[in-house]
Structures are given as C-alpha cells and as structure tokens.
Structure 1
Amino acid sequence: MDDRRFPNLKYPTRRISYDVTRPYKEQVPPYRRSHSLAELQAEREREKLAAQAEGRPVTSSRATERRSTLSSLVFSSLAALDQTGNAVIPPYVKKKHKRQVIGLPDTPVALTEINLEDLIPRYAPPIKPTGTLKIQLLWSQEKTTLTVIIIEAQGLIIPGVPKDVEVNPYVKAFLVPGRAFKYRTKTLRNTRDPLFLEKFVIKDLPVGGGEENEDGALEFQVYSSHHVSRRHLVGVASIRLIDVDKLTSGQVELLVTPQTVYRMHQGDLRISGCYQPVAGKIVFNILEARNLPRVSILGAINPYVKVEMYVNGIREGKNKCKVRQNTQDPVWHHQVVFEVNRENPKLLGHVFVFHVLHKDMMTGVHKIGQVDLGWYSHGEQLEHWYEIMEHPHRSTDNWHPIIKTGKITS
C-alpha cells in the first residue's frame, strides 16, 4: 500500500528495545497462573498472621480463593492425612429433616393432632313447643287393627307469624315409615284450642307386633288454613306403635314441635364415606334407601340421588346416580369422588348435600328430602361425619333419616 496516498495515516511506533530496569507489564494479567505448594503455604501464613494482628477470626471468602490447580489439589489431599499417613475421615453430620410447609404429611397419623371434638356443638337451645295434641289409641285383640281418636289440641301457635293472626287448624295423620295410611280431619275456624273428636281405623297391621310395628309410628301434622297464603305448618307430633301398650287408658297428650326441630320421616338413606387426605379426595358410596314415601296417587316412585359439594356456600361439584323405576327400597351402589383442598385437612366450610328426588315423566322432578354431611350437620349426620374425619382411609357407612326441607305437598 502506498503511504503517499494517505499522508494523515499514522502507524504506532514499534518497540525495538526493552527497558530492563522496570517490569514489562505493570497491570495484573487477565489470567491466573498456577501456584506452587510453597507459595500457597506462604500466602496462608500471611493471611493467618494478619488476622491475628487485627484480632479477627481467620475466614476464607470466595473472593480470595484461587482456582483449583494441581498444586492446590495436592496440598488439600496432604492436609487430609495425619502424621501416620492415614486418611482423616470427617465426622458424620446428620442431615436435617426437611419440614413440609404446604400440604399434609405422607402418613395420616398427623390427623390425630386435630382436636375434632372442639368442632362439635356442645349446647343446644331449648325447644319451645307450638301446642299440645290429645289423642286416644286402642288396639284390637289380635293387634291387627288400631283405632285412633283425635280428641283436641290446645295452645296452638304458628311459628314466625304474629299472634293476632287467626288460626284455622286441622290435623293430618300418617303411618310411617312409607306413609301407607293417611287421614285428614275437618278444618275448624278461628280457634287456638280446637275440639276435633274424630275417629279413624288402621287395618291390616302385622300380627303380633312384627318388625314393621317396632319401627312404625303415627305422625300427626297440625296445619292452619288461610285464604291468602294457603296454609302454615303449626308443628308435628308422633308416637311409636310399640309405646301404645304402655298407655294406661289409651289417652296420651303429645307435644307439637315446629318443623325446624322435628324432622319429617321421609325414609332412610344409607351412605358410605371415606376421606383420603393424602390423595386430596373424599369418596362417597350411595348404597341404598328404604321406606321412601309415595309421591303420586298411583303410588309409583322413581327415586334417584343427586350429590352436591358446597365450599363456603359455593357449589364446587355435583354428581347423580341412575333412576330406579317403581320402588320404595332402591339399591344403587353408586360411587362419587370429590377432590378437596389438601391445605384444609379439617374440611372446614365443606358441606355435602344428598338430595333424594323422584322423577316423573309427566310432572317432572319432585324432591323427597335430603341428607347433609358436614360440621354444620346435626344428630346422626354429625356423628357419621365425625367418624369419617376421625378415621381417614377407612370406609364407614350409616343409615340417615331423609329430612324434608321444601314445601310440604303430602
């Protein structure tokens, strides 16, 4: 290249000779050279003396550590030997157990730490009756026929209605379970102490007081008829058939309790439950039902069960089993699986509602009743729920009375 064409271009001057009086490179080289064993030992001694002079402990930081070289590896291997030449084995340090912060432990034994008894209500408010009902019961000699006389009622109060509202009472009588027999008295106008004096006879009962008589009972529902709101339920009273023989004169005065306290007998539902906290699931098995009431004039009933899971009042899941045709004692053996939150092992805020329904091709779906399982349940439902939570990974089944909560259409 011709330098005359570019007069302003200057080349760096080349060093021809070196000054031996000063080092060639004054800056720290960008690389690290390997150090000998003597240099490593001397450097460590200097650091130790400097630390002792300043009165601070000897510490080794990552900034002062050098890159592992062959000399440093040899030095570390020699330091691991004692004077006899045997290797010095470092002491065994037990590894700390990692504590699980989220989720449940692998074994359900930890659930024993949960004090489930504190969640069961210890106090029940006193029940105020809404009146009394006097009846008379007489058996036949063969105990196959029962004569019932509804004598009178006294002090009837309609719950949730002002006392100045007139009461037009009448009584409905049922033979439970199954409601195979039904009777209705006349309506008496504007009285809280009605005098009925009506008699009816229940025939074809099992001879000798069989199992049906042991489980059977007479249920009396007291209503008040109104033109505007149709009717109000004053309360319910009942007596078991096996207690009739204990009456001296056959007369008995029954307490009429409101619907919120007395559970109307709509049959029984058998449910099996198994809580699996490790898998985060709860499994229910709808086994069977018995003594379901007839909901139509022909007596046919096509029952099925619909299950819903509510978490803090919000429905999180649902499932239903098949419809069984024309039977009051259906059998399903239907399994339902719900996924639950592992971070809530007590299942607080969870309620499982089992709706027992009847499906009619003409009139649609009718609700028979329901069974609730959860910490807000009562009686047998709460005891079964407590057993499910107390013994996880174990299936427990129980019979539950079906509770009627909707509008009474019987």
Structure 2
Amino acid sequence: MAPIAASREEFDEIPTVVGIFSAFGLVFTVSLFAWICCQRKSSKSNKTPPYKFVHVLKGVDIYPENLNSKKKFGAEDKEEGKSKPVMPKTSLHLDLEKRDLNGNFPKTTPKIPNSSDLENFTPKLFPEREKDSVSPDSLKSVTSISSEEKQDKLGTLFFSIEYNFEKKAFMVNIKEARGLPAMDEQSMTSDPYIKMTILPEKKHKVKTRVLRKTLDPAFDETFTFYGIPYTQVQDLSLHFMILSFDRFSRDDIIGEVLFPLSGIELSEGRMLMNKEIIKKNVRKSSGRGELLISLCYQSTTNTLTVVVLKARHLPKADVSGLSDPYVKVNLYHAKKRISKKKTHVKKCTPNAVFNELFVFDIPCEGLEEISIEFLVLDSDRGSRNEIIGRLTLGASAEGTAGEHWKEICEYPRRQIAKWHMLCDG
C-alpha cells in the first residue's frame, strides 16, 4: 500500500506546477506585446510619411513640418525669391524685458519721416504706373460686353451624320456639347441631355442619357433610323433640343439647334458638324387662330351637346412650321372640373377639321354655374404638349363667347355654331 500513496502525492503536485508555468507565460506574453507596441509607436513618430500633403489656400502651400525642403512643392520659387530684393515689411515685435511692473508696455510715439526720406522711400514702394493706363469707364464697358457675350452664348453642339446604303439607314451620332450655361444656381452646373427629332413629320424622336453635373457633356451616342430613302434625306431637318434635368420640377430648356439637310451630300461618307446653340424660339404671335364650336342645350334631358367643328389660322407651334393640333374640352361646375374629353390629333396642319361630338350631363337645372374650356394643343411625343390657344364659354364670358352662351340659354334644343378667337394659353 505504501507505493500507491506516494504516486498519489506526485499527481497532486502536477496542477500547481502547471499553474505556475502558465502564470509566467502570461506575464511574459503581455510584456512582449507591450514592448512591440511601444517600438512601433516610436518608429512611426520618427518615420517620414511616404506621401506629402498639399493644400493650396489663396496661393499658400501648407506641408507637414517633418518634410524636407527638397520635397516641398514650390521650393524653387523660394530659392529664386532669395536672390530678389525683399520688400520692406512692417513687423510687430514685443520686447518682454521693457514691460513695467504692471506688465504693460510703454507707449512709443511713431517717428515722423522727413520729406527727404519720403522722396527716397516712395519710389521703392510705389513704382511709376505705365502711361497706357485703363480708365474705370473702359473697364465697365469691357466687363459689360463680356457678361453680355457670356449670357448670349449657350455653347456648341458637335455631331456627325452618315447614310448606310446597304441597310438604307440614316445615322446620327451626338458626340458632345461644350460651354453650356449653368442652370443650377447653387451648384453652378447642369445635368444636360439632348432630345432629337427628324422634321417635318416628327416620326423619329430619340433622346440621350442624362449626364450629371457637367457643362461639357460627352454623350457619344449613335442613333440609326431605318426606312428613310436616300432621296428623301434632302427634305429632312434635324432638331436638337438641349435640356437640363430637374428632379423636382420641369426640365430647364438650355437651347436648340436646327440643322436642315438640304444641299448636303452623304455619299462621300460621314460628315462632322458643329453648330452654335441658340435660344428656343417661343413663337408667340398676336393671333392664336380661331375655333368653330357648335352648342346645343337640352332642357328636358338636362344635357349639353358640344361639337368641335374646325380650327383655322393656328400659329406655328413647331420648328418645321407645322402643328399637330387637337382640342381638349373641360366641363366646369362652380369652378370645379367634372368632365373632360378630347379630339383626335390632326397631323401637320394649321387648319384642322375635327367634326367630333361630345355630350355632357349637367348636374343641376340651368347653365348659370356651368362653363366649358377649350384648349387647342400641339401634340408632341418627345416632350410636354404645348398649348396653342384657349377659349372659355360661360355666363361670365365676354364678347362672342358670352353672346354664344346667352343664345343657347334663350333657345334650347337648337344647335348654334360660331367662330371664336383663341387667346394665349
């Protein structure tokens, strides 16, 4: 039994030995880690950074202090400055030993220079001006002219045209635009894109992608139009509309470019073009045209029959000189729209014939609070439809519109037609 008791005592001593060794190992590891961290910190503080910081603030270069003068940008300028005579500068120097018991500095009276000193000193500080000096009036005229030129100039559009005889396709490549004006006053930039239409039929309408925050957008987008015979290319015109995208409101129109293809030979290959961007022609005229309307009020069924017959002498609402008009009819009761209708679109004509009939149910007896609004619009797939003219018939209307309304009220069940002048939309 004695040998068994001795072996048990030896096994009891093993955990204490292991604990002592693990404690020494932990202390050694912690101290080694702390020593390595201190060495790295000291080496980082003494080491020169592998790059240099360059910050230009009003012509002053700021660098880290531990960079050598050879690595500094503009060190050659400083060396050249040493050879040049240094201009005298007034400096402020406070001598701490000259303070009194209260810590204040004694007042010193400035030394008044003599007339001889001024004569010797002024040529150094104020050199003589040249004889050909510019007057303030001339400066104002130059600045005003330059500002007007900048406002008038809307940039330049660069594009190329080509005709593929094998595929019978007309190709237009919108390359870039340069010198666009800033439409966003806060960021002083624009988000431009271009809409292109082939006139006069306006069947082919395309647009580029929007390029963010640039005044010199490079689009480089090619548009291929199939089914256009080469003999008809001479009769076409390219209309480019340059716009700036606006997420919260309607896109801003920068300008437009109209490029007729008459007299251009595409048989030789691709042709590069550049055209100045001009302001969009609003094309407003004193006369908005006329609209022929026929009205009939049925008092028994309490319905109003409206027939949109014709439109004539409509103004030019497009670059090609032709419009695609249609009429939108809105019925109002107490200034609230309760019904709306519209006619079909008539292509490329200033004198449209519609002959379309609409029947409206009147919510109450009588036409005292009823009014009808006619909007003549120009259909445009690529952008928002433009209002050509407007006409309102009702009890409060004046002129021929008021007379027409009184007649249908006095003579119910009678179809009465009259021409009306359109006003600005």
Q: Normalising by structure 1, what TM-score?
A: 0.36
TM-score when normalising by structure 2: 0.34
Q: Report which of the two has the higher share of helix.
A: 2
